[in-house]
Structure 1
Amino acid sequence: MIVRPQPITPEQTPQRLDRQARGAKAYQDGLCAEEVVCSACIKVGWTILLKRARTRRGEIDIVMRKGGLICFVEVKKRQTLRGAAECLTLVQQKRLYRAAECLLALYPHWSYEELRFDLIAVDDQNALLWVKDVIRQM
């Protein structure tokens, strides 16, 4: 019996499998970074309202409250803090803003005096850089 090798499908190419593995690792790294950020925020008095809040207009990694302030947080994980802090694009900022609008409509019972959008960068050693009011600063 002659066994002929089957052709490799596009889903099985080494490049695609490598990209899938990198994507899975990045996803897990992101989840771990979000947990590190949540723990750090809780330690300094923040209350986590939502994690990975999905809306029809986008996702917000963390929504938290401290006093009359509700903060929408984007977590960015990179090798360096600088690399993480510099990667929030204008498109992502607009998505965050629109997703926050949806969440505020979904949770009308949230009372607040101030809203803010922060970026918390996480590096490979889990060091944090907290950039407050990031949308107004950019």
Structure 2
Amino acid sequence: MRTITDKKPIQQGQVSFARKVRGYVAYNDGLSAEETVKVSCMQEGWTILLQRARTRRGEIDIVMRKDNLICFVEVKKRKIGREAAECLLPAQQRRLFRAAECLLAQHPEWYYEELRFDLITVDEKKEIVWIKDIIRQM
């Protein structure tokens, strides 16, 4: 008979197989949600400037433009859209704002009169909920 103490402990830095699988599934779900959002936004007349834009300060899922508005979009995929809207915590909001500052500095050719941060959620039925102007910098 084996006891709990007989199990070989997972060493620090190792990740269980189940956790790797969950991470892989979550990553692919996120990519799928971003593609769904991108297609929907393009159908509504938005021009996609960047997707998965990485900076030294963080990543922004989608950067898009419509007329003189540049919109930085965070895409969240959850079983229920409401759950996704609740998971944009203050630390992540600061990361998004700082990443946007970096992108604007890297792309002086982007003209705009207004900037906005939106959260677009996708649920398991691929229904989209668009929360506009979710981050206000004071």
Does TM, scored on the shorter chain, surpass 0.5? yes
Aligned to 1:71: 71
Aligned to 1:28: 28
CA distance in 2, matches of 1:71, 1:9: 47
Q: Which amino acid aligns with 2:83?
A: G
CA distance in 2, matches of 1:121, 1:28: 15
Q: Which amino acid aligns with 1:86?
A: E
CA distance in 2, matches of 1:76, 1:66: 21
CA distance in 2, matches of 1:45, 1:113: 18
Aligned to 2:56: 56
TM-score by length of 1: 0.89
Unaligned runs of 5+ in 1: 1-6
Q: Which amino acid aligns with 1:75?
A: V
Report whether the alignment pairs 1:112 with 2:112. Answer: yes
TM-score by length of 2: 0.89
CA distance in 2, matches of 1:117, 1:67: 16
CA distance in 1, matches of 2:109, 2:135: 24
Residue correspondences, number? 128
CA distance in 2, matches of 1:57, 1:91: 12
CA distance in 1, matches of 2:65, 2:38: 12
CA distance in 1, matches of 2:131, 2:92: 15
Aligned to 1:80: 80
Q: Which amino acid aligns with 2:84?
A: A
Once the two structures are superposed, residues 76-126 of structure 1 have per-residue CA deviations (whole angstroms, 9 ceiling, x without a partner) of 000001011111000000000000000000000100000000000110011
Unaligned runs of 5+ in 2: 1-6
Offset, 1:10 = 3.1
Between Structure 1 and Structure 2, the one with more helix by share is 1
Q: Which amino acid aligns with 2:100?
A: A
Offset, 1:8 = 5.8
Aligned to 1:16: 16
Report whether the alignment pairs 1:97 with 2:103. Answer: no
Once the two structures are superposed, residues 53-98 of structure 1 have per-residue CA deviations (whole angstroms, 9 ceiling, x without a partner) of 0000000000000000000000000000101111100000000000
- What do you get for the CA RMSD once the two structures are aligned? 1.7
Aligned to 1:3: none
